[in-house]
């Protein structure tokens, strides 16, 4: 891993860090404890060649779900299930692009997502220009969410 990291970012492995770097290999739907948090990965469809995962992060009584980059997959239903907050990528308004969600597809499946709050992110210019037409909360730079 260090050789790959060094090849991509020369000098990065010798840089002094204020934090420890650990690599943990996920297994789909297998909860992983990291300190007080429990992270559960769900495979999604991004098509980058590497495994892509959505994550459920349980911290005490709170649960945050994150889609990561993905096109629609029914795994998102399980990811969002009963989450206090589901942060979901939404690249485009109504243009289908492999590996990414569009608002039209997300809206068609909205009733299947049982999260308490849905916030879209990772919006391209197309989606940003039409975000006012969407019946969903959109993230913005510097936004703070209280659960």
Q: Is residue 7 part of a domain?
A: no
63 near 48, Cβ under 8 Å? no
pLDDT value of residue 19:
85
Instruction: Report pTM.
Output: 0.88
pLDDT value of residue 5:
77
Q: Is residue 52 part of a domain?
A: yes
Q: Is residue 64 part of a domain?
A: yes
pLDDT value of residue 112:
98
User: Is the CA virtual torsion 105, 79, 121, 48 positive or negative?
Assistant: negative
Q: Is 77 helix (H, G, I), strand (E, B) or coil?
A: helix
Domain membership of residue 60 as a residue range: 26-138
Q: How confident is the model at residue 21 (pLDDT cuts 50, 70, 90)?
A: confident
d(CA 115, CA 90): 16
pLDDT value of residue 62:
98
pLDDT value of residue 101:
97
Q: Is residue 20 part of a domain?
A: no
42 near 73, Cβ under 8 Å? no
Q: Is residue 16 part of a domain?
A: no
Q: How many domains, in total, are found in the chain?
A: 1
pLDDT digits (tens, 9 = 90+) for 59-70: 999 999 999 999
Q: Is residue 114 part of a domain?
A: yes
Q: How confident is the model at residue 113 (pLDDT cuts 50, 70, 90)?
A: very high
The conformational region for residue 110 under phi > 0 = left, psi -120 to 50 = alpha, else beta, is alpha
Phi then psi dihedrals of residue 73, to 5 deg: -145, 145
Q: Is residue 8 part of a domain?
A: no
Give me the CATH number covering residue 78. 3.60.15.10
What tokens were used for 64? 């945050």
Q: Is residue 126 part of a domain?
A: yes
pLDDT value of residue 16:
84
């Amino acid at each position: 891993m260090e050789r790959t990291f060094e090849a991509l970012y020369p000098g990065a492995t010798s840089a002094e860090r204020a934090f420890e770097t650990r690599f943990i290999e996920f297994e789909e739907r297998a909860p992983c404890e990291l300190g007080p948090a429990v992270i559960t990965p769900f495979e999604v469809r991004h098509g980058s060649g590497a495994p892509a995962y959505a994550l459920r992060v349980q911290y005490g009584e709170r649960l945050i779900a994150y889609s990561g980059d993905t096109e629609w997959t029914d795994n998102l239903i399980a990811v969002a299930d009963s989450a206090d907050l589901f942060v979901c990528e939404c690249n485009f308004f109504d243009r289908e692009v492999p590996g990414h969600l569009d608002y039209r597809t997300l809206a068609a499946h909205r009733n299947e997502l049982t999260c308490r709050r849905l916030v879209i992110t990772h919006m391209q210019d197309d989606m940003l220009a039409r975000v006012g037409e969407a019946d969903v909360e959109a993230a913005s730079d510097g936004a703070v969410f209280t659960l």
